Amino acid sequence: MKIKLKKWSFEDKEFLIKMCNTIDRNYLSDRLPNPYTNESAKWWLNMVKENDEKKGVFRKIVVDGKIIGTISVEQKEDVYRKDSEIGYYLLQEVYSKGIMTEAVRQICEIAFEKLDIIRITGMVYEPNIASRKVLEKNNFLLEGIMKKAVIKNKNIYDLCIYGKVR
């Protein structure tokens, strides 16, 4: 199984819409529109085109020629501008195969090379054990836990803050 990170293009729009409307959203930010529309995809792909390798690194995750997820590292602003935040998701059918662990390894290399950052932050809802393990396998350290910091689907979660320093 060959895991590749590739740049998004406008040719991926229809698949992006389909993927974003079928993924498990239980541990994702609500900033991802639901439902994910043609307008959502056009806005996001334009944002990626404008900001890729300038204010962030945005990649599709491709395995055996098929898009199976997305991953990004977005640089923060103001006094936090040397920090960035990692985010990712996969289609459920490919969970627990080591794909995201490898994708995180690759995106961190790219982000540290292309962006003017010294750290990458990962914020994970406490019960999302799989995502926590992905970061830990990539040498992210648990730096703290914000108690009752997130509300998602009427559930209140602690937020685990992970960091990886160049």
| Strands (DSSP E) found in the chain | 3-7, 56-63, 66-75, 84-90, 119-125, 141-152, 155-165
pLDDT band at 1 (very low <50, low <70, confident <90, very high): confident
Residue 31 confidence (pLDDT)? 92
What is the percentage of the chain residues whose pLDDT exceeds 90? 99
Q: Are 58 and 72 in contact (CB under 8 A)?
A: yes
Average pLDDT over residues 2-25: 96
Phi/psi region, residue 50 (left: phi>0; alpha: psi -120 to 50; beta: rest), is alpha
Per CATH, the architecture of 3-118 is what? 3-Layer(aba) Sandwich (3.40)
Mean pLDDT (the chain) is 97
Global confidence as pTM: 0.96
Question: Pairing state of beta strands 155-165 and 56-63?
Answer: unpaired
Residue 89 confidence (pLDDT)? 96
Residue 138 confidence (pLDDT)? 98
Q: Dihedrals φ, ψ of 48, to 5°? A: -60, -45
Q: 32-68 burial, b if ≥16 CB within 10 A, otherwise e?
A: eeeebeeebbeebbeebeeebeebbbbbbbbbeeebb
Q: Copy the structure tokens of residue 41.
A: 């995809």
Amino acid at 160: C
pLDDT at 135 over 90: yes
Average pLDDT over residues 12-16: 96
Separation CA 56–CA 120 (nearest Å): 11
Q: What is the pLDDT of residues 39-93, one digit of tens each?
A: 999 999 999 999 999 999 999 999 999 999 999 999 999 999 999 999 999 999 9
Q: DSSP secondary-structure letter at 45?
A: H
Write down the H helix ranges in the chain.
Answer: 13-20, 38-51, 99-114, 129-137
Residues 6+ apart with CB under 8 A from 138: 101, 104, 105, 108, 164
Which residues pair with residue 142 across a beta bridge?
Answer: 162
